Structure 1
Amino acid sequence: MQRYTLIRYVLLCWALLAVGSAHAVTVAFINPGKSNEAYWVAATQAMQVAARSLDWQLEVQYAERDHLRVLDLARSMVARPPAQRPDYVILSNDNATGAELLRLFDGSGIKCFMAFSRLSAADEAQLGGPRQRHKDWIGSLEPLAEEAGYLTAKALIQQGRSARAQAADGKLHLLAIAGDRSTPSSVRRNEGLQRAVAEAQDVVLEQTIYAGWTRDKAAEQADWLYERYPTARLVWAGNDLMAFGAMQALEKRGGTPGKNMWFSGINASADGMQAIQSGRLAALAGGHFIAGAWALVMLYDYHHGRDFADEGLQLEASMFVLFDPAMARKFEARFGQRYDSIDFRRYSKVLNPKLARYSFGFAQLLR
């Protein structure tokens, strides 16, 4: 009897291998960012490495920061003949497009996974969660964005204290340049900033403006912020590009970042790593670009019968590292903006049956 069971098991394995070789699993990623934008390029590169590790095919289409194009890309994907549609699609709820994306993919046979930024609470109240109203929406994975806002704000405030950047009233005056008003990850980064400010009785948050994640708009808005709040010496930014834009505006006025005004940013770009080492940035958090690659690991396990539902259908994980100059140098030596050295197979529960829970922190990849 045991021998018969073993033979059936071996035959089943061969059958699964035959099916897998006949149909390579395909995943599409509708990238909401620009094809030359450091963060979204890094996210794509990490996903490509993960796909190669797992022997899956990855298709990436950039929306170039155009939320209408995001929807057009989805419509085009659904309009393909069934045999040419991907098995899975990874989406991000940038500019609150997530709910409409789920509606577009509903009934298409393409399983949807939300990464980087999940639905807002209002949308979830209307649509329900994964596997409810939209059966092919199977789950989501979001970096703990509030953590990034909090860590960078705390470090920026501490730098301001060390530099004795208080105004005549004894307070540190802070300006905030946020991404947008609707993307959940942007909202949560701002909440982290607000938590850090609430803990600091010596800090005044003068104003929060929204620069759409872009350097040029941040430079334009920072210029009039400096005019309006001449005692401000701290600038918190929701990403590194907006921090660089605010620095540009300061330098145009004759100031020097890291000497008479201090800045924070979010993202693990090459420019960010150089800025934290040179002192132009006082605080930098990053590592969350890896979320798409972790999503592929989860989908791989789901596809092979190891559902991530036992940990939750909507996971929010700590992925950020607060970089100091030493850690930035380590990051550059380890990756150099390329992630080919990461073997994502080691993080799969299917390929490593002893793994009980996923570990999505970025710091482990630096070790």
Structure 2
Amino acid sequence: MRLKIRLILLMLLTLPFMTIAKQTVLFVNPSVVDDPFWSKVQSISQHAAQQLGFKLDVIYGEGNRHIQFQELKKYLEYQKTPDYAILILYPGAAVESLKILEKFEVPAITMEQTISGEEKSQIAGPGEDYKYWLGEVYHDNYQAGYDLAKALHSVSNKKSNLTAVLINGHYGSESDMRAKGAADYFSSQGIEVAQEVHGSWSETLSTEQTLKLLKRHANIDIVWAASDLMAIGAMKACKIACADKQNIVFGGFDWLSVGLENVARGDTHASVGGHFMMGAWALVSLFDYHHKHSYWSEHRELVIPMGVITKQNVNNYSWMKNSPNWGLIDYRLKSLHLTDQSQYQLYLIPEIWQKNKR
């Protein structure tokens, strides 16, 4: 009897020091470890995970659909099954990825809308053919592409008879929607799109392609690019080949530090961004789902906002160039479970920074 009482007392005394097991979220980074954009998405996600009580496991897709699927398969088969997963569906591997998550019964949120055409019809929508696919966190790529085109037009010194070229990313829905938004804006303004090429998100490849475009098209006024790095690559090509580079305006996506520095100097002219918060938003919504909030049972998407930075407002965003501590944002204040909000309050940067620092 005394022994039993002692054991009970020991348990009561040690209970406050016992570690409560955290839920594990598998974050599938589709790129490589040092990718400038995806490393930022991952870093912000790690801050959010820590505040929300998640353990974040990370694997890398190395920019290849086959490698990403094999890494996902290996993790699920040889590691303890995670409680949740966050990933991008690579074109050509969407069905296999969703099937294996279904097999291991892992509720998942996908980032971006990357699948189109026949493959899109094969996977249907979240919660339809794959019940563990909770929903999509993404931004409006069409509107973002449109807004970048509009911003570049507004800063061009030449106001009529303009010619643009588009340097897109890879072949996929995300890139296609960005380019379609740009093409529609240019068409509405009577701006000719001389050619669209794909730069696979590479600065080097963009430089090579732009050199060819400059030889092929004599009067390029606007170079619209689907990433900051490709815009910088195009700008470098113009420095090599253009007698008067001031006549061409360049712009891209991602709000990279190097991109903002180039906008501040006037080497490039606009950058669209804010979507590096998508991993954090996915985690906030998973936190709510874990705590039985109804959002993902009533919705299939969470669309996050994006904004345009130009020379006129770049100083308002200068703090982002110096690797800010994204952990200063209180991600728990974004939770529907922990607040009385009925909908997610989706702020643009720097609004989220200013309103939600501890």
TM-score (normalizing by structure 1)? 0.86
- In the other structure, the counterpart of 1:4 is none
Q: Secondary structure at the match of 2:103?
A: coil
Specify the alignment match of 2:46 in structure 1. 48
Separation in 2, partners of 1:130, 1:21? 34
User: Hey, what does 1:295 align to over in structure 2?
Assistant: 282
Q: 1:340 aligns to what SS in structure 2?
A: helix
- 8 Å Cα contact 2:112/2:139 also seen in 1: yes
Q: Which residue of 2 is the match for residue 142 of structure 1?
A: 138
Q: Secondary structure at the match of 1:85?
A: coil
Query: In the alignment, is the contact (CA less than 8 A) between 2:260 and 2:321 conserved in 1?
Result: no
Match of residue 87 from structure 2: 91
**Superposition map of 1:160-179 within 5 A:** 160=156, 163-164=157-158, 170-179=160-169
Tell me how far apart the structure 2 counterparts of residues 255 and 345 of structure 1 sit (CA, whole Å).
Answer: 53
Distance of 2:232 and 2:298 partners within structure 1:
38
| Residue number among 217, 241, 251 corresponding to 1:264 in the alignment | 251
State the partner residue of 1:200: 189
Change (3 A) 1:115 1:186: same
Tell whether the 8 Å contact from 1:143 to 1:288 is kept in structure 2 after alignment: yes
Q: Is the 8 A contact 1:335 1:341 kept in 2?
A: no
Indicate whether 1:361 and 2:341 are aligned: no
Deviations 1:248-292 (A, max 9, x none): 1111225565x1311011111100111111111112111101111
Which of residues 58, 62, 65 is equivalent to 1:64? Answer: 62
1:237 to 205, 225, 245: 225
Partners of 1:89 and 1:112 within 8 A in 2: yes
- 1:143–1:319 Cα contact (<8 Å) kept: yes
CA distance in 1, matches of 2:308, 2:320: 16
Residue 25 in 1 paired to residue 23 in 2?
A: yes
> CA deviation digits over 1:152-202, x for unaligned, max 9?
100111222xx12x6xxx5101111001222x211111121022112102x
Change (3 A) 1:271 1:129: same
1:12 aligned residue: none
Instruction: Give the number of aligned pairs.
Output: 337
- Structure 1 residue 310: deviation in Å? 5.8
- CA contact 2:91–2:115 (8 Å) conserved in 1: no
1:103 to 84, 99, 104: 99
**Contact 1:42–1:337 (Cα < 8 Å) also in 2:** no
Q: Kindly indicate whether the alpha-carbon contact (under 8 Å) linking 1:24 and 1:57 is maintained by their aligned counterparts in 2.
A: yes
Cα distance, 1:337–1:362 mapped onto 2, change above 3 Å:
farther
SS of aligned partner of 1:28: strand
Secondary structure of the structure 2 residue equivalent to 1:155: helix
For 1:341 and 1:111, the matched residues in 2 are separated by 28
Counterpart of 1:331 (choices 292, 297, 317) is: 317
Contact kept? 2:59, 2:72, Cα under 8 Å: no
- Alpha carbons 2:90, 2:115 under 8 Å: kept: no
CA distance in 1, matches of 2:114, 2:241: 39
For 1:61, what is the secondary structure of its paired residue? Answer: strand
Post-superposition offset of 1:318: 4.0
- Mark the runs of 5 or more structure 1 residues left unpaired by the alignment: 1-16
Which ranges in structure 2 are unaligned for 5 or more consecutive residues?
A: 1-14
1:186 aligns with 2:175: yes
- Which residue identity lines up with residue 365 of structure 1 in the other structure? I
Q: 8 Å contact 1:113–1:137 — kept in the other structure?
A: yes
Whether contact under 8 Å (2:269, 2:311) holds in the other structure is no
Name the TM-score, length of structure 2 as normaliser. Answer: 0.88
Summarize the Cα distance change of 1:365–1:131 in structure 2 as closer, same or farther, 3 Å threshold.
same
d(CA) in 2 for partners of 1:334 and 1:181?
30
Q: In structure 2, what residue type is equivalent to 1:175? A: V
One-letter code aligned to 1:159? V
Structure 1 position 99, deviation (Å): 2.6
CA distance in 2, matches of 1:200, 1:321: 21
Structure 2 Cα separation of the partners of residues 45 and 285 of structure 1: 20
Aligned partners of 1:207, 1:327: CA distance in 2, in Å?
A: 30
- State percent identity of aligned pairs: 26
Q: CA deviation at 1:106?
A: 2.0
**Alpha-carbon RMSD:** 2.1
CA 1:321–1:234: 2 relative to 1, 3 Å? same
